[in-house]
Structure 1
Amino acid sequence: MKLTDTRRLTGPSLLLDGPGAIAEVACEDAQARPLADAWETHLRALCRAVGWPAPHTAVRIYSGGASLAFAAPTDALYAATEINETAVGAAVATLGGDAAAALEGTGQMHPTGDLIASVRDEQNPALLALEQASGPRGVPFLWDDDEASVGLGAGSQTWPVTALPSPEAISWDAVRGIPTCIITGTNGKSTTARMVGAVVRASGAVPGMTSTDGVVVGSEMVERGDYSGPGGARTALRDRRVEVGVLEVARGGILRRGLGLPNASAVAVNNVDEDHLGDYGIDTVPQLAEVKFVVAKALGEGGALVTNWDDAHCRREGQRLAGPLAQRGAHIVWTGMTPEALPEGPAVSVVGGWVVRRGASGGWTRVVEVTEIPAARGGAAKYNVRNALTATGLSHALGIADEHIARGLGDFASDVETNPGRGNVFRVNGATAWIDFAHNAHGLRALVETVQALPATRRLVQMSHAGDRSDREIRAIAHTLHALDAAQYVVADMPDYLRGREPGEIPALQRDTLLGLGVSPEAIQEAPDPASGVRQALAWAEPGDVLMLMVLARREEAIRAIREAGGVPA
């Protein structure tokens, strides 16, 4: 038995509906249930010792381990992790194990007196008072180690956690929430969020958007980097310019910390497929789907879950959640490419070349022609048609009029400025270069379908991958892209993302896979990095060729190479 991780949960998560602490323990399958039972016994005793009531606990047992979580006060979560570590160690000892060895490198046993002191030192009564005053008033409350805020965006006020006002000192009429949506899924999160952002701008409001590329307020990038976690949500939603929140949320953030926004007007799950399996005991796609659909915990009265009827995992989770959502006054908006296949009720689909939506009472309303959505490439980019369906459902749930939805989707070009690395297309000396960030089989299948529809004299495919994926996943990428039946393949290394691999190891795996599929050695080039691969592809290309370039790193350098070769947006 070994403690592998201990951390705070700062928002709704897979196991809890609010803040708490969670421990991950690796153990033999037969040890998991006895360990969990012993942990709960010791946890209750420790909570009693520090003056806390009997905790709400949650246990998830998986192959090779268990997640052990309990709800804890917002102002004492670091102390809660120490309590959790100690409870795990005591449970290991109860089962005859070595507690010190089990906790070594990750946690430690804490004497009861030290735990009492930790709780006392961390407590912030003013923070709890503000949190408790916000709830009954229906005012959103956000907090972190440094700041706390009531209200969102243009209706927010923020203070240092060391200088919080009393609830009586706050003018509650001056603070309020704003419309907000949360978007997750295996693929299409960033594009969908940017589509909704374009719609919000078309409506005349200022969006605050978070994604794996950064935080954008209006059209200004205020922070660069991966801001798809709770920190990004707080950054966007504390900016007083923001009138609508549009938050991309990734699987990792949900598992590590929970949702950064506990309440939202609408949430969406685009799709669920194999990606990032193996973290925190999430080993199967159905388990991954449960993680994605944690976003539904943010919905209350009038809220909408927008999800994909055509995706089996989304369909199953949506059907599972329909009853609980209805009890909270929320509802599901189904999206799908085949309108007659959709169940009754709110939905978004395509009819006669139009994106259409349907309310609870039935009857389709036209919103925008597919050919008027640049990102859809005349309908050839079906994955972006699907993203547009989700964006339409979310935008309507946010209260935005159809005319503004149509204008926003029409304004969204999906070029390197508006949607970098997602379906950016260039004309280069008579050839077509399609650059994308897709990095899993699900996303690549959608791209292959799109690129196959483009007329081409010859095709070239460039591929690469980060080193933290399994050999099977890396080979699967090559297998998926082989379906394009290209005349030339470029396998590029990713020296900035080896993550434990040797230089050249990933290109060798992909080259070996292609050779096994019958590709001749002469049809495979190797490149030291993605940008160099793009240069090699451009040197090979002739008029009429189509280049499908998977650029997962050094994207700006790759775009620069295309422009220096005379490339212009197509």
Structure 2
Amino acid sequence: MTDVSGDEPEYPSPSISDCRRLQGPNRYGPTPGAVITVVVADDAARRAVDHWPYAARRLTQALGWERTEFVARHSIGDATCYLSAPMDGLMTATAVAEMAWVESEAYVDQREVPDAAPSLRVQYAEECARHPHVRELAAGALSRGLAFSIDDEAVSVGSGRGVRTWPHGDAPPSASVAWNDVSDVPLIMVTGSNGKTTTTRLVAAMWRAAGATTGWSCSDGVFVESDVEKRTLGVGDYTGPGGARLVMRDAAVQAGVLETARGGMLRRGLGTTTAQVAVITNISADHFGEYGVHTLEDLAEVKAIVTRALGAHARLVLNADDPSLVALGERLSAVHAVPIVWFSMNADTELVADGIDVHGDGAVLHDGHLMLCREGVWGDSGRVNDMPVTADGAARHNVENALAAALTASCAGVPLSAVHVTLRRFGSAVHHNAGRLERYAFGGITVFVDYAHNPEGIRALCATAASVAATRRGLVLGNAGDRDDEQLRALARAAWSVATFDRVIVKEMVSLLRGRPEGELPALLVDELRRCGAPNDRVTISPSEFDAVCELLAWARGGDVLVLPTHAERGRVTGYLEQLRASGWRAGESLPET
């Protein structure tokens, strides 16, 4: 077989590029397990992938694991090999996956390797001793329809005010648990390519307007808010299962809203086994080439992992205007019992009507009003131009987010009055939706700050800014290095297709190079902008995000509109904008020191 080793390999075979535990429902199945990614460079490697399930089955039988599921999936240049595993054997499962691959390579090469089963038995016995009663607690929660979650520190059953959590080693037998005292609070999962954080914050605000102590996890952190206080449980990107568990394990929480991103689902699985509602906002090209995701259909399949936490009485909310989600809905309807309901910017969309006929719920935009159907009865949730989050209706992507949030909250049982009051006031203050379509007007200029990070997000941001009259328009452009070249070029094309900018400053973000050499990303974006027709004298490169923002502010004059997608230094950028506004700075004046 081809030797792909470079440095000393971390794994028992140099062709294994990744191995990870999946601690919850995942891309391959509803139960936890382990998955390896292997480099496939020749026919011998492809044959080894095909043999892997047989080798893995032999090892799991030696461990006494019953009803184990195996998946070996070929991709472009690599393959993934997955096995399900008991809750008390996830670390052992990673070793099983690796050693099954070693055996498969040896099988293809017709050579002998030592039998790994004896050492795996020892490893599994030690792991079980560290995690007593975990398997029976999981079974007890599952049989009662309750949430179960596990990580390296603890195990828990139930959620929010009905949760019970124990450190590993202290977990009791299932028979000792007072199951009548264990319960779940409403849990909502929010995923999609764009709009996740805004939708999460909107739904959380709707629960708060209903008086519920609400916990939510998102790309900015984990928060719990009640009538008397707002607590921060974590700061940073908590869109993976770790953020979900922090919300679920807080005993004050009465409702939870969990932003659920692609990366966390692929790396670790879901943080919960149950949810009442899940929403997928949209699907757009992003992160292709990672974890076997190469097409929009692949990406939709990943986002649909959230359905593995939905029972027969839950709701899946989908965007009827997104072709990838329409196709996903058709596939899910054939294999999954979860009810699907739809929202649309078009009042005549048949899918919305079909969902209402069967399940009673849906949402549409009609004559400029957000119309929400609950249990078969239509109601007017207000004029979208009067909803601050939509920027007088100009932010069409936030009209979609408002539709998604209103329908999702309604399906979760939020009173309609709380939905309506939230739509009327959310976005009226910057802190409501920090980092998402923040609009500043000071010094004679208008500035838009947003997290837009893929072509559709940039297109939506630039379109919103284009609705504002301007003397000139300026843009800061850049992205992280974990996108392929075509995705980066598409970002530049999307920005230039909406508006002809008078100045574009392409930013380098050293902290987000993700393995690329310095200078490569800006050069690629500049090249694509020039291909789109941007004059050479309008496009420059800046060494950092903050430097790019300052350069654009120094260029600005009264009447200009500036568009600032921020990713690496958002806090510093928004803090400086607030400083300029408070100081009375005017466009054309020298910039003050930071």
When normalised by structure 1's length, the TM-score is 0.93
What corresponds to 1:56 in structure 2? 69
> Per-residue deviation at 1:51?
2.3
1:452-463 to 2 correspondences below 5 Å: 452-463=466-477
Deviations 1:376-421 (A, max 9, x none): 1111101001001110111011101111001122232175422221
Deviations 1:31-90 (A, max 9, x none): 566324422222222122222235221222223232211111000111111111111111
Residues 534, 561 of structure 1: 8 Å contact kept: no
1:27 to 40, 65, 83: 40
The residue identity in structure 1 corresponding to 2:519 is G
Residue aligned with 1:418, SS: helix
The residue identity in structure 2 corresponding to 1:145 is D
1:317 to 308, 314, 328: 328
> Per-residue deviation at 1:92?
0.9
> Per-residue deviation at 1:160?
1.0
The residue identity in structure 2 corresponding to 1:482 is W
1:111 to 107, 116, 120: 116
Residue 167 (structure 2) pairs with residue 149 (structure 1) = no
Alpha-carbon distance in 1 for matches of 2:205, 2:541: 39
1:478 to 472, 486, 492: 492
Greater Cα shift, 307-316 or 162-171 = 162-171
Residue aligned with 2:279, SS: strand
Greater Cα shift, 556-565 or 260-269 = 556-565
What corresponds to 2:136 in structure 1? 129
Residue aligned with 1:340, SS: coil
1:230-249 to 2 correspondences below 5 Å: 230-249=241-260
1:281-430 to 2 correspondences below 5 Å: 281-325=292-336, 327=337, 330-343=338-351, 344=354, 345=356, 346-359=361-374, 361=376, 364-413=378-427, 416-430=430-444
Residue aligned with 2:318, SS: strand
Residue aligned with 2:431, SS: coil
Residues 343, 363 of structure 2: 8 Å contact kept: yes
Change (3 A) 1:164 1:54: closer
> Per-residue deviation at 1:538?
1.5
Change (3 A) 1:54 1:93: farther
Change (3 A) 1:30 1:503: closer
Number of equivalences: 557
Residue aligned with 2:16, SS: strand
What corresponds to 1:45 in structure 2? 58
The residue identity in structure 2 corresponding to 1:334 is W
2:460 to 446, 449, 456: 446
Greater Cα shift, 42-51 or 203-212 = 42-51
Alpha-carbon distance in 2 for matches of 1:91, 1:400: 53
Residue 546 (structure 2) pairs with residue 538 (structure 1) = no
Residues 52, 72 of structure 2: 8 Å contact kept: no
> Per-residue deviation at 1:520?
2.2
Residue aligned with 1:289, SS: helix
Alpha-carbon distance in 2 for matches of 1:290, 1:239: 30
The residue identity in structure 2 corresponding to 1:209 is W
Alpha-carbon distance in 2 for matches of 1:425, 1:112: 61
Residue aligned with 2:391, SS: helix
Alpha-carbon distance in 1 for matches of 2:232, 2:112: 48
Deviations 1:79-135 (A, max 9, x none): 1111111111111111117899xxxxxxxx773221110010001341122222222
Residue 72 (structure 2) pairs with residue 67 (structure 1) = no
Residues 213, 253 of structure 2: 8 Å contact kept: yes
What corresponds to 1:103 in structure 2? none
What corresponds to 2:447 in structure 1? 433
Alpha-carbon distance in 1 for matches of 2:105, 2:161: 50
Greater Cα shift, 538-547 or 469-478 = 469-478
1:147-186 to 2 correspondences below 5 Å: 147-186=154-193
Alpha-carbon distance in 1 for matches of 2:68, 2:100: 13
Residues 189, 257 of structure 2: 8 Å contact kept: yes
> Per-residue deviation at 1:366?
1.3
Residue 275 (structure 2) pairs with residue 250 (structure 1) = no
Moved over 4 A (4+): 28-33, 97-100
Residues 11, 257 of structure 1: 8 Å contact kept: yes
What corresponds to 1:106 in structure 2? none
Seq. identity, %: 36
The residue identity in structure 2 corresponding to 1:337 is M
What corresponds to 2:4 in structure 1? none
Change (3 A) 1:301 1:382: same
What corresponds to 2:222 in structure 1? 215
Residue aligned with 1:273, SS: coil
Alpha-carbon distance in 1 for matches of 2:246, 2:513: 31
What corresponds to 1:502 in structure 2? 517
Alpha-carbon distance in 1 for matches of 2:281, 2:583: 31
Alpha-carbon distance in 2 for matches of 1:14, 1:142: 17
Greater Cα shift, 198-207 or 403-412 = 403-412
Change (3 A) 1:19 1:505: same
Cα RMSD (Å) of the superposition? Answer: 2.1
Residue aligned with 2:188, SS: strand
What corresponds to 2:590 in structure 1? none
Residues 11, 19 of structure 1: 8 Å contact kept: yes
What corresponds to 1:198 in structure 2? 205
Deviations 1:196-249 (A, max 9, x none): 011011000011111121111114322011111111111111001111110011
What corresponds to 1:521 in structure 2? 536
Alpha-carbon distance in 1 for matches of 2:83, 2:515: 34
Residue aligned with 2:250, SS: coil
Residues 76, 292 of structure 2: 8 Å contact kept: yes
Residues 438, 444 of structure 1: 8 Å contact kept: yes
Change (3 A) 1:514 1:368: same
**Which runs of no fewer than 5 residues in structure 2 stay unpaired?**
2-14, 585-594
Deviations 1:251-275 (A, max 9, x none): 1111111111111000011111110
Alpha-carbon distance in 1 for matches of 2:468, 2:177: 59
Deviations 1:8-43 (A, max 9, x none): 111111112111111222214745663244222222
Change (3 A) 1:151 1:523: same
When normalised by structure 2's length, the TM-score is 0.90
Change (3 A) 1:78 1:556: same
Change (3 A) 1:200 1:110: farther
Alpha-carbon distance in 2 for matches of 1:312, 1:97: 48
Residues 198, 409 of structure 1: 8 Å contact kept: no
Change (3 A) 1:433 1:73: same
